[in-house]
Structures are given as C-alpha cells and as structure tokens.
C-alpha cells in the first residue's frame, strides 16, 4: 500500500496524514468512504454466524416499556432465540466475522496501514429501529463503517465518565454529546480510544466495527515472563543455589539475603537475551484467536513446485529484524529467505517465481505450513 497516496476511504487524506492527525487523537467522519457499499453478509447469514458455537456474539435488548432497562445475553443464538424483527430496540453483535468470511477479511485488509499487531477483528452488528448499546466509551480505536440502513451517532469527549449502576453494560450516565450526525451506507467514522459515543439505529441497520487490539503493559509482562520462564527451564534448569558461606542463624525464619541475590541473578539472566524478549512478543502477537481451528491436509508433505502461496485468512504472520512469526511459532531468518518471508507476511501471498527462490530449508517450512492449513497453494 502506498501510504502517501490520498484515499477516498480516509476522506481524501493519505494513511500517513491520517495517522499523524487522527490516530489516537481525534475522530474523523468520512462521507461515502466506500461509495455504493452493499452489506458483505446479509441479515440471514449474520444470524447464521451468531448460531455457531465457534463465533462470539452478544445480544443487547433495550426495553423502554413497563420495565425499562438493558439486557445482555451471550451467544450462540438459535434463530428462534433472537427477538422478532418487528420488535424495536435490540442489537445483535457478532465478533470476528473476518475469520469466517473472505470479503470481510478483504475489507479489514484495507486498514493495514495500521500494523497487523494492532489490527484485531471486524465486528458486525444488526439493530432493529432505535437499537444501540447505549452511550459508552471503548478503550480501543475503532472504524465504524455503516453497511446498511441509517444510524444516528452522537459523540463527545467525556472528562469524568460515570457509569450507570446495575446494568450489564458499561453505559454512561453523564454523556454530553458534542457532535451529532446520521450516517448512511458507505459512511465511515473513526473514533480514538476514550471518545464517548452512542449510535442509535434509524430503522434496520448494520454497522461494521473494524477494531484494534491494545496490549496492556501487565498483559505483556505476564505473557513474556511466562515465555522467558520456559526458556529459563532449558538454560538455567539445573543451576542450584549454593551457600557454603552460610553461617548459623538465631532467626531461622529470616530469608537469607544471598538467596534474594540468587533470585535476582536468575531473573536478570533470563531477561538478558534481547532476542528472547522479541521472540516471545512475536509468538504472543501471532497466537491464533482461541476459537480458530485450521484444517490440516491429510498428507505429510506438499510439493511447492510451480505454485504460488496464499496465507489463510485466519493466519497471523509478522516479523521483526531477526525472526519470522507465524501462528504463535518463531523462526530465525536471514538473507534472501527472510526477505521473501517478510514479503509473504506483508502481502499475505507469494508468487510462484518467489517461492522458487526460497532455500530448500525454507521450502520445507512453507510446505509444513501448507500441511497445517496455515496457507494454501494456488
Ligand atoms: C454497534 O455496532 O452497535 C456498536 C458499536 C459501538 O458503539 O462500538
Ligand atoms: Co463503541
């Protein structure tokens, strides 16, 4: 992707300018970002996904009648478990649709001017008239693409957000909108994290949320320490604490300072290898989602000769200066193989003429990925 080229998707600015001016900073409303957009899945197909136990879905019902309030239920939902279409005020939200539908995956790829390590998934919501999830704040960035019908958005910065008590959703009690507009199919709204918003359907409405993942510091510390601990098992496993200098103690419950020092050394040694940290991060960031299964081939090897390869839409592949990561595994890579593998990760495909240039060792790897169902020969 040419990141300097102005895109209709971003209202005539380039990805470079968008990232500088808007990303994590301020909203952007783009009218007709995708002119003539038709829903990539119809309502029945979305409902079918919501019935699948491998798909995460939620139902939010807003009652305004005799017993007003919000109800939240988690899927899977049989079609009959959803309220009637004639009933106003409900929303079905289906997470990770990009994993199940090629055209939705292709739509998400249009946003790959943001690193894959940040891109999360496409959620699709279907709402009946007046449906919505209430005024709220998300902790992640989002592009909200209107795919069908109309939705009225009210958005605003919220200095001191207060959440409503006793409801199953995070709903603001003190939402003060600063802007209000009605979006139509093809319109796109970008919101940075922490920006309050409330979208209310005007008639039947489908909205696609291109969502991002924001790793938490504590989450990364936990994941990386866990991986470093496994490395330590191999490298430091048999090194024992020694205390030939230990003197007799009259306070037996006190932990010896030399043991604290020994523990400190152990930690320092596992963190010393910067490659181990980078490797752990790449493995973690490319870990497939929990509900992802690949269909392995019923063969031990496939021959790559003459084929180009294409990553499965569920495959996560990234790289850093020294490694290639794919679906939670890491490989050291250098030279021409590394350049070709990086191209595969970036383009999500590699032409036959490039596959041919891989070393025998790299071909064996790629063939193994094909057997695992991580990529396909085309
Ligand atoms: C929706 O699609 O109804 C909710 C999207 C959001 O407000 O984050
Ligand atoms: Co939201």
Query: Is there an atom of ligand 1 within 6 Å of 199 CB?
Result: yes
How many CA atoms lie within 13 Å of 288's alpha carbon, on the beta-carbon side? 15
Check residue 235 and give its pLDDT.
76
Query: Is there an atom of ligand 1 within 6 Å of 138 CB?
Result: yes
Check residue 80 and give its pLDDT.
95
Check residue 95 and give its pLDDT.
97
All domains in the chain, ordered by first residue: 8-212 (2.60.120.650)
Nearest to 327 by CA among 295, 263, 284, 265: 284
Dihedral sign from CA coordinates of 229, 234, 238, 243 = negative
Task: For the beta carbon of residue 62, count every other beta carbon within 10 angstroms.
Answer: 22
Alpha carbon 315 to its chain's center = 12
The span from the CA of 46 to the CA of 67, in Å, is 29
Check residue 274 and give its pLDDT.
80
Check residue 62 and give its pLDDT.
93
Rg, C-alpha atoms of the chain: 25
Query: Is there an atom of ligand 1 within 6 Å of 146 CB?
Result: no
The span from the CA of 60 to the CA of 55, in Å, is 16
Check residue 46 and give its pLDDT.
98
User: Tens-digit pLDDT profile for the chain (378 aa)?
Assistant: 999 999 999 999 999 999 999 999 999 999 999 999 999 999 999 999 999 999 999 999 998 888 778 999 999 999 999 999 999 999 999 999 999 999 999 999 999 999 999 999 999 999 999 999 999 999 999 999 999 999 999 999 988 888 988 888 889 988 999 999 999 999 999 999 999 999 999 999 999 999 999 999 999 999 999 998 888 777 777 889 999 999 999 999 999 999 999 999 988 888 888 888 999 999 999 999 988 999 999 988 888 888 999 999 999 999 999 999 999 999 999 999 999 999 999 999 999 999 999 999 999 999 999 999 999 999
Residue 90 DSSP label: E
Closest ligand 1 atom to 144 CA = 5
Nearest to 131 by CA among 67, 77, 88: 88
- CA 176 to centroid of ligand 1, rounded, Å: 18
Q: H/E element holding 191?
A: strand 188-191
Query: Is there an atom of ligand 1 within 6 Å of 209 CB?
Result: yes
- Could you tell which of 58, 199, 210, 212 is best to mutate to test the pocket of ligand 1, judged by most ligand atoms within 8 Å of the CB? 199
- CA 142 to centroid of ligand 2, rounded, Å: 8
Residue 150 DSSP label: E
Alpha carbon 157 to its chain's center = 24
């Amino acid at each position: 992707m040419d990141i300097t080229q102005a895109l209709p998707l971003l209202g005539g600015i380039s990805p470079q300018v968008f990232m500088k001016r808007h990303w994590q900073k301020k909203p952007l409303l783009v009218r007709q970002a995708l002119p003539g957009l038709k829903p990539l899945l119809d309502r029945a197909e979305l409902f079918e996904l919501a019935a699948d136990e491998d798909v995460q879905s939620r139902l939010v019902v807003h009652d305004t009648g005799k017993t007003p309030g919000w109800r939240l239920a988690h899927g899977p939902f049989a079609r009959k478990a959803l309220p009637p279409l004639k009933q106003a005020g409900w929303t079905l939200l289906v997470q990770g649709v990009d994993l199940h539908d090629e055209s939705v995956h292709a739509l998400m790829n249009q946003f790959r001017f943001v690193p894959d390590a940040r891109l999360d998934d496409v959620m699709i919501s279907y709402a009946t008239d007046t449906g919505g999830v209430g005024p709220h704040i998300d902790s992640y960035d989002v592009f909200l693409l209107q795919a069908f019908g109309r939705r009225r958005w009210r958005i605003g910065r919220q200095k001191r957000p207060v959440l409503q008590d006793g409801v199953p959703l995070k709903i603001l009690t003190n939402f003060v909108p600063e802007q209000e507009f009605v979006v139509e199919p093809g319109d796109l709204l970008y919101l940075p994290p922490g920006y309050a918003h409330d979208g209310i359907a005007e008639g039947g409405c489908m909205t696609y949320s291109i969502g991002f993942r924001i790793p938490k510091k504590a989450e990364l510390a936990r994941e990386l320490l866990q991986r470093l601990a496994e490395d330590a098992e191999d490298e430091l496993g048999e090194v024992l604490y020694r205390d030939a200098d230990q003197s007799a103690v009259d306070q037996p419950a006190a932990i010896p300072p030399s043991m604290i020092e020994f523990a400190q050394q152990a930690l320092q040694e596992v963190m010393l290898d910067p490659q181990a940290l980078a490797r752990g991060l790449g493995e973690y960031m490319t870990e497939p989602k929990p509900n992802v299964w690949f269909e392995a081939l019923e063969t031990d090897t496939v021959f790559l000769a003459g084929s180009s390869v294409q990553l499965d839409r569920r495959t996560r592949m990234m790289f850093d200066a020294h490694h290639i990561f794919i679906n939670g595994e890491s490989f050291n890579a250098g030279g021409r193989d590394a350049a070709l593998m990086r191209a595969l990760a970036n383009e999500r495909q590699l032409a036959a003429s490039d596959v041919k240039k891989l070393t025998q060792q790299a071909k064996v790897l790629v063939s193994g990925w094909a057997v695992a169902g991580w990529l396909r020969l085309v």
